[in-house]
Amino acid sequence: MAAEMIEFEGGLYQLHRVPKPRWSQLQLRWLDDQGRPLVHFGGLQKQLRKEGLNLAFATNAGIYKAGPKPCGLTISEFRELVPLNLADGDGNFFLKPNGVFYLDDNKGPAVVGAAEWPQLRLKPRLAAQSGPLILLRGVEHPMFRPDSPNKRQRSAVGVVKDTQEVVFVMSHREDRRKGRVTFHQLARLFVNLSCMDALYLDGDISEMITQPLPDAVASAPPTNTFAAMFVEVR
Protein backbone atom coordinates (compact mmCIF):
# COMPACT_ATOMS: atom_id res chain seq x y z
CA MET A 1 0.00 0.00 0.00
CA ALA A 2 1.55 3.30 -1.09
CA ALA A 3 1.65 6.22 1.31
CA GLU A 4 -0.89 8.96 0.69
CA MET A 5 0.74 12.11 -0.71
CA ILE A 6 -0.43 15.66 -0.06
CA GLU A 7 0.96 19.00 -1.14
CA PHE A 8 0.00 21.95 1.03
CA GLU A 9 1.26 25.53 1.22
CA GLY A 10 4.60 24.77 -0.36
CA GLY A 11 5.27 21.48 1.44
CA LEU A 12 5.05 17.92 0.17
CA TYR A 13 4.12 15.22 2.68
CA GLN A 14 3.55 11.49 3.04
CA LEU A 15 0.59 10.50 5.21
CA HIS A 16 -0.49 7.28 6.85
CA ARG A 17 -3.90 7.16 8.51
CA VAL A 18 -5.02 4.74 11.21
CA PRO A 19 -8.83 4.91 11.56
CA LYS A 20 -10.70 3.65 14.60
CA PRO A 21 -11.32 0.11 13.26
CA ARG A 22 -7.53 -0.38 13.01
CA TRP A 23 -6.46 1.11 16.38
CA SER A 24 -5.75 -2.38 17.71
CA GLN A 25 -3.24 -2.94 14.89
CA LEU A 26 -1.09 0.05 15.84
CA GLN A 27 1.82 -0.80 18.14
CA LEU A 28 4.90 0.88 19.59
CA ARG A 29 8.07 -1.22 19.53
CA TRP A 30 11.57 -0.60 20.86
CA LEU A 31 12.97 -3.93 22.21
CA ASP A 32 13.05 -7.45 20.81
CA ASP A 33 12.02 -10.57 22.74
CA GLN A 34 15.47 -10.65 24.37
CA GLY A 35 15.19 -7.07 25.62
CA ARG A 36 17.60 -5.66 23.02
CA PRO A 37 16.86 -2.55 20.90
CA LEU A 38 15.44 -3.41 17.49
CA VAL A 39 17.51 -0.52 16.05
CA HIS A 40 15.92 -0.28 12.58
CA PHE A 41 13.02 -1.41 10.40
CA GLY A 42 14.86 -4.62 9.49
CA GLY A 43 15.11 -5.62 13.16
CA LEU A 44 11.48 -4.67 13.67
CA GLN A 45 10.34 -6.79 10.73
CA LYS A 46 12.40 -9.76 11.91
CA GLN A 47 10.81 -9.60 15.37
CA LEU A 48 7.30 -9.31 13.96
CA ARG A 49 7.80 -12.33 11.75
CA LYS A 50 8.93 -14.36 14.78
CA GLU A 51 5.55 -13.47 16.29
CA GLY A 52 3.63 -14.39 13.14
CA LEU A 53 2.83 -10.77 12.29
CA ASN A 54 3.22 -8.81 9.06
CA LEU A 55 4.38 -5.21 8.84
CA ALA A 56 1.94 -2.87 7.06
CA PHE A 57 3.42 0.49 8.12
CA ALA A 58 6.30 1.74 10.25
CA THR A 59 7.91 5.02 11.19
CA ASN A 60 10.37 6.14 13.85
CA ALA A 61 8.55 7.23 16.99
CA GLY A 62 10.65 10.03 18.40
CA ILE A 63 13.95 11.44 19.53
CA TYR A 64 16.44 9.18 21.29
CA LYS A 65 19.81 9.08 23.01
CA ALA A 66 22.63 6.53 23.16
CA GLY A 67 21.44 2.95 23.31
CA PRO A 68 19.43 3.68 21.23
CA LYS A 69 17.01 4.61 24.03
CA PRO A 70 14.00 6.94 23.82
CA CYS A 71 14.51 10.31 25.51
CA GLY A 72 11.16 10.20 27.26
CA LEU A 73 8.04 8.27 28.17
CA THR A 74 7.72 5.01 26.26
CA ILE A 75 4.85 2.60 26.90
CA SER A 76 4.47 -0.59 24.89
CA GLU A 77 1.65 -3.09 25.48
CA PHE A 78 0.82 -1.34 28.78
CA ARG A 79 4.43 -1.62 30.05
CA GLU A 80 6.32 1.56 30.87
CA LEU A 81 9.77 1.00 29.39
CA VAL A 82 11.07 4.56 29.85
CA PRO A 83 9.64 7.08 32.35
CA LEU A 84 8.34 10.57 31.62
CA ASN A 85 11.12 13.13 31.15
CA LEU A 86 10.31 16.68 32.32
CA ALA A 87 13.93 17.86 32.45
CA ASP A 88 15.22 20.93 30.65
CA GLY A 89 17.78 20.62 27.90
CA ASP A 90 18.78 21.52 24.37
CA GLY A 91 17.19 20.36 21.14
CA ASN A 92 13.68 19.82 19.85
CA PHE A 93 12.69 17.25 22.48
CA PHE A 94 13.15 19.84 25.23
CA LEU A 95 11.42 22.71 23.40
CA LYS A 96 8.64 23.25 25.94
CA PRO A 97 5.82 22.59 25.84
CA ASN A 98 6.58 19.09 24.64
CA GLY A 99 4.07 16.28 24.77
CA VAL A 100 2.89 12.70 24.76
CA PHE A 101 0.95 10.83 22.09
CA TYR A 102 -0.95 7.84 23.46
CA LEU A 103 -3.54 5.30 22.41
CA ASP A 104 -6.10 3.72 24.70
CA ASP A 105 -8.12 1.15 22.77
CA ASN A 106 -11.30 2.13 24.65
CA LYS A 107 -10.92 5.89 25.03
CA GLY A 108 -9.00 6.44 21.82
CA PRO A 109 -5.85 8.32 20.81
CA ALA A 110 -4.77 11.75 22.04
CA VAL A 111 -1.89 14.18 22.32
CA VAL A 112 -1.39 15.89 25.68
CA GLY A 113 1.21 18.18 27.20
CA ALA A 114 3.99 16.26 28.95
CA ALA A 115 3.54 18.37 32.10
CA GLU A 116 -0.12 17.29 32.24
CA TRP A 117 0.64 13.58 32.01
CA PRO A 118 1.18 12.74 35.72
CA GLN A 119 -2.18 14.24 36.72
CA LEU A 120 -4.10 12.31 34.06
CA ARG A 121 -3.31 8.90 35.62
CA LEU A 122 -3.81 7.13 32.33
CA LYS A 123 -2.86 3.54 31.55
CA PRO A 124 -2.79 3.40 27.75
CA ARG A 125 -1.62 0.46 25.66
CA LEU A 126 1.03 2.63 24.01
CA ALA A 127 2.52 6.08 24.52
CA ALA A 128 5.50 8.04 23.22
CA GLN A 129 6.90 11.34 24.48
CA SER A 130 8.53 13.79 22.10
CA GLY A 131 8.75 17.47 21.44
CA PRO A 132 7.84 20.07 20.64
CA LEU A 133 4.06 19.99 20.55
CA ILE A 134 2.91 21.06 17.09
CA LEU A 135 -0.66 21.84 18.15
CA LEU A 136 -2.45 21.59 21.48
CA ARG A 137 -6.20 22.22 21.54
CA GLY A 138 -5.85 23.93 18.19
CA VAL A 139 -3.14 26.35 19.32
CA GLU A 140 0.23 26.35 17.58
CA HIS A 141 3.42 26.14 19.68
CA PRO A 142 4.36 29.70 20.77
CA MET A 143 7.91 29.42 19.40
CA PHE A 144 6.85 28.74 15.80
CA ARG A 145 7.18 31.59 13.31
CA PRO A 146 5.65 31.93 9.81
CA ASP A 147 8.84 33.59 8.57
CA SER A 148 11.25 31.05 10.06
CA PRO A 149 14.15 30.18 7.72
CA ASN A 150 14.64 26.82 9.47
CA LYS A 151 13.34 24.29 6.94
CA ARG A 152 14.10 20.63 7.58
CA GLN A 153 12.63 17.24 6.96
CA ARG A 154 10.13 16.65 9.76
CA SER A 155 7.72 13.97 10.96
CA ALA A 156 4.80 14.18 13.37
CA VAL A 157 1.60 12.50 14.54
CA GLY A 158 -1.82 14.06 15.02
CA VAL A 159 -5.38 13.10 15.92
CA VAL A 160 -8.40 14.14 13.81
CA LYS A 161 -10.85 15.79 16.18
CA ASP A 162 -14.16 14.39 14.92
CA THR A 163 -13.18 10.84 13.88
CA GLN A 164 -10.24 10.17 16.26
CA GLU A 165 -8.25 8.96 13.28
CA VAL A 166 -4.50 8.87 13.92
CA VAL A 167 -2.50 10.61 11.18
CA PHE A 168 1.25 10.11 10.75
CA VAL A 169 2.92 12.77 8.60
CA MET A 170 6.43 12.97 7.17
CA SER A 171 7.70 15.66 4.83
CA HIS A 172 8.97 13.99 1.68
CA ARG A 173 12.53 12.68 2.04
CA GLU A 174 13.41 12.76 -1.64
CA ASP A 175 12.16 16.25 -2.51
CA ARG A 176 14.94 18.61 -1.37
CA ARG A 177 12.75 21.68 -1.79
CA LYS A 178 9.14 20.86 -0.92
CA GLY A 179 10.21 18.15 1.52
CA ARG A 180 11.95 20.68 3.78
CA VAL A 181 9.43 22.59 5.88
CA THR A 182 9.19 24.82 8.95
CA PHE A 183 7.39 23.89 12.15
CA HIS A 184 4.78 26.52 11.24
CA GLN A 185 4.11 24.83 7.89
CA LEU A 186 3.69 21.52 9.70
CA ALA A 187 1.23 23.06 12.15
CA ARG A 188 -0.77 24.56 9.29
CA LEU A 189 -0.95 21.16 7.61
CA PHE A 190 -2.41 19.52 10.72
CA VAL A 191 -5.02 22.28 11.00
CA ASN A 192 -5.94 21.56 7.37
CA LEU A 193 -6.26 17.86 8.28
CA SER A 194 -8.75 18.79 11.05
CA CYS A 195 -6.34 17.85 13.83
CA MET A 196 -6.56 19.92 17.01
CA ASP A 197 -3.56 18.19 18.58
CA ALA A 198 -0.28 17.04 17.04
CA LEU A 199 3.20 16.09 18.24
CA TYR A 200 6.55 16.37 16.49
CA LEU A 201 8.38 13.05 16.23
CA ASP A 202 11.76 13.56 14.55
CA GLY A 203 13.73 15.34 11.86
CA ASP A 204 16.22 14.50 9.14
CA ILE A 205 16.54 10.78 9.93
CA SER A 206 12.78 10.19 9.69
CA GLU A 207 11.56 7.38 7.48
CA MET A 208 8.17 5.87 6.69
CA ILE A 209 7.41 2.54 5.03
CA THR A 210 3.97 1.25 4.07
CA GLN A 211 4.81 -2.32 3.08
CA PRO A 212 7.20 -5.06 4.23
CA LEU A 213 10.86 -4.64 3.37
CA PRO A 214 12.39 -7.00 0.79
CA ASP A 215 14.56 -9.57 2.58
CA ALA A 216 17.76 -8.16 1.07
CA VAL A 217 16.93 -4.67 2.34
CA ALA A 218 15.81 -5.90 5.77
CA SER A 219 19.09 -7.75 6.31
CA ALA A 220 21.35 -4.97 4.97
CA PRO A 221 23.09 -2.47 7.30
CA PRO A 222 20.56 0.28 8.12
CA THR A 223 20.93 3.81 6.78
CA ASN A 224 19.48 5.20 10.02
CA THR A 225 19.24 4.02 13.61
CA PHE A 226 15.97 4.31 15.54
CA ALA A 227 14.84 3.69 19.08
CA ALA A 228 11.05 3.32 19.42
CA MET A 229 9.05 2.74 16.24
CA PHE A 230 5.34 2.92 15.49
CA VAL A 231 4.17 -0.06 13.48
CA GLU A 232 0.83 -1.15 12.09
CA VAL A 233 0.58 -4.93 11.86
CA ARG A 234 -1.60 -7.31 9.91
> What's the pLDDT tens digit per position in 4-37?
999 999 999 999 999 999 999 999 999 999 999 9
Give SS3 for 115.
helix
Q: What pLDDT digit, counting tens, does each position of 34-80 carry?
A: 999 999 999 999 999 999 999 999 999 999 999 999 999 999 999 99
Between CA 31 and CA 38 the distance in angstroms is 5
- Residue 44: the pLDDT is 97
Determine how many CB atoms are found less than 10 A away from the CB of residue 183.
Answer: 23
At 97, the pLDDT band (50, 70, 90 cuts) reads very high
Q: Whats the size of the chain, residue-wise? A: 234
The candidate with the shortest Cα–Cα distance to 229, out of 103, 6, 41, is 41
Summarize pLDDT for 153-181 with one digit per residue, the tens. Answer: 999 999 999 999 999 999 998 898 999 99
| Residue 32 lies in domain | 4-233
Q: Which residues contact residue 84 at a Cβ distance below 8 angstroms, ignoring those fewer than 6 apart?
A: 72, 73, 100, 114, 117, 118, 129
Report pLDDT for 216: 86
Closest CA to 111 of 23, 16, 27, 198: 198
Structurally, the chain folds into a number of domains equal to 1
Which stretch of DSSP H or E encloses residue 185?
A: helix 183-192
For the chain, the first-to-last Cα distance in angstroms comes to 12
The DSSP code sequence of 73-109 is -EEETTEEEE-------SSGGGSSS-EEEEEETTTEE
